[in-house]
A and B are shown apart, each in its own frame.
Chain A
Amino acid sequence: MKKKMRVLWLSAIACNGNTHSFLNYPYMEQFLDDFEFIYHPVIDSEYSLEDIVSKEITCDILLIEGAISKEFKRADVSVVDIIEKYSKIVQKIVTVGTCATFGGIFRESGYEETSGLHFDKEEPLKTHKDLLDKTISVSGCPVHPEVLVNTLYAIKKSAALKLDNFLRPKEFYAYTVHNGCTRNEYFEYKVDNHRFGELEGCMFYDHGCQAPFTHGSCNKILWNEVNSKTRAGVPCMGCTEPTFPRQNLFSTKKNMAIPENLPVGVGKRVYLTLAGISKAFKIDRLEKKLIDD
């Protein structure tokens, strides 16, 4: 029998959203053939949480879900202590989701100094620096199950993943969510005649879409293999970024009609010049409804 990789899924200050996302992975049977959970909060596993905190169970990968605070305990033991214990014996640590990576929504919880493992929003932390070489971050609220699983397979195959400045695999995070968006034609010609749920119009100009400056593969690796937020008619909320969650997710912050956040790598002067040219086009086909008239 081939050797399975042993994985510990540790839930810190979390809503279990990443767990639920992971349970939608379509090839779970295959996955569980190659990996086993020594502990997972909702999947049957060999050991109990008490076993995990009281003993030292052999393990290859430590997955951390949820924001981290030394004040927060699981089975009466601080999560930081559990992380420190297992980080010494595992090959790799994976921060699963935006909370474990940057602090996310639970950064606002009442626990003292709540953050991600290595980052407090964009700011690198001084703590756990010795673990930097071991850590891979897969951000997202929640993380896309294929991004998580494919990262685990890369670890299993000892494939060298190139990481960005936030330790995220470039394979999945070098692109922006804008890449692969089916509304790109509307973006190009600055047509924002969108209403929520509609499949036409760009949502960047008025409806808060953060896809042009959010790193992620949502429009390249679809959710449940069929859809993404922008395809379903909802703006990208930038959930893979350290800035998540922003306020007013459904409106675009503008200064005198100019979006405050521009597409990654595009200077303001260049953007305005291009926008001015694009806006000169009046394309009737895009201005009116294509379907459902």
Chain B
Amino acid sequence: MLDKKQLKKEQIIQTALELFASKGFYSTTIPDIALSLKMSVGNMYNYFKSKDTLAIEIIKYISAYLGEKLKEINEQEISTKEKTRKIVEIYFKTASLKPEMIDYFLRIYLSNREVFKESCEGMLCVNEFVTEIMIYFEEGVKCGDLREQDFFSAFGLFMGYLGGMVFLKGENVLPKDLNDYVDDITFNIYKALSAE
């Protein structure tokens, strides 16, 4: 039974994500989401008590999704440079296949902090994703590939760059497809973090 309820929850999350992306977070209401799913508003509240709760569940869902992808990369016996490339690839792939996910992270999670301040202190709601990035860094330093430095300067460099590129893509500023930048971006990030 859990699976059925879980499946429904994921459907709601996916629909909400798409609506937030097209109409904006504040202009989208719970009745809008219910209507899209052909559900009653009352039934919607059985799954999520409020729009804020839904917003929090969505960021956790995205973090778990990306965290799982990064875990697969971290567990491979490959060099830090190859891992870097795979992380860039998976981030851009997600931005192409599920643009609403990355869009939500960049435009809603990062710019509506008031919605997330109650239950998402620190990195609580993006823990799974951040943990995998930490492991990528830690293993890179341990094997001598990456330079030891403050975690947040490295994290900001990596994620800021990826987020920035996806943002530019979203604004239709980029002349080429995101995937065409994978090599250059991998090179830049690796060179910036490398111990050499």
Contacts and interface: CB of A to CB of B under 8 A. Distances in A.
B122 interface: yes
A277 B130 CA distance: 11
A280 interface: yes
Contact of B141 (A255, A273, A281): A255
Contact of A258 (B121, B124, B134): B134
B122 A269 contact: no
Q: Output the residue of A254, A256, A276, A277 with the most chain B CB within 10 A.
A: A256
A256 B149 contact: yes
Nearest to A259: B138
Contacts of A258: 134, 137-138, 151
A277 B149 contact: no
Contacts of B135: 268-269, 272
Contacts of B134: 256-258, 272
B140 interface: yes
A276 B149 CA distance: 19
A276 B130 contact: yes
A279 interface: yes
Contacts of A225: none
A96 B83 CA distance: 48
A256 B127 contact: no
Interface string A105-124: 00000000000000000000
B150 interface: yes
Contacts, number: 52
B131 interface: yes
Q: Output the residue of B128, B131, B142, B154 with the most chain A CB within 10 A.
A: B131
Interface in B79-138: 121-124, 127-128, 130-131, 134-135, 137-138
A260 interface: yes
Contact-residue bracket for chain A: 10 to 19
B44 interface: no
Interface in A262-293: 268-269, 272-273, 276-277, 279-282
21 contacts: A254-B148, A255-B138, A255-B141, A256-B137, A256-B140, A256-B148, A256-B149, A256-B151, A257-B151, A258-B134, A258-B151, A268-B135, A269-B71, A269-B135, A272-B131, A272-B134, A276-B130, A276-B131, A279-B123, A280-B121, A280-B124
Given A256-B137, A279-B123, 18 more contacts: A254-B148, A255-B138, A256-B134, A256-B141, A256-B151, A257-B134, A257-B151, A258-B151, A268-B138, A269-B71, A272-B131, A273-B131, A277-B124, A277-B127, A280-B121, A280-B122, A280-B124, A281-B121
Interface of B: 71, 121-124, 127-128, 130-131, 134-135, 137-142, 146, 148-151, 154
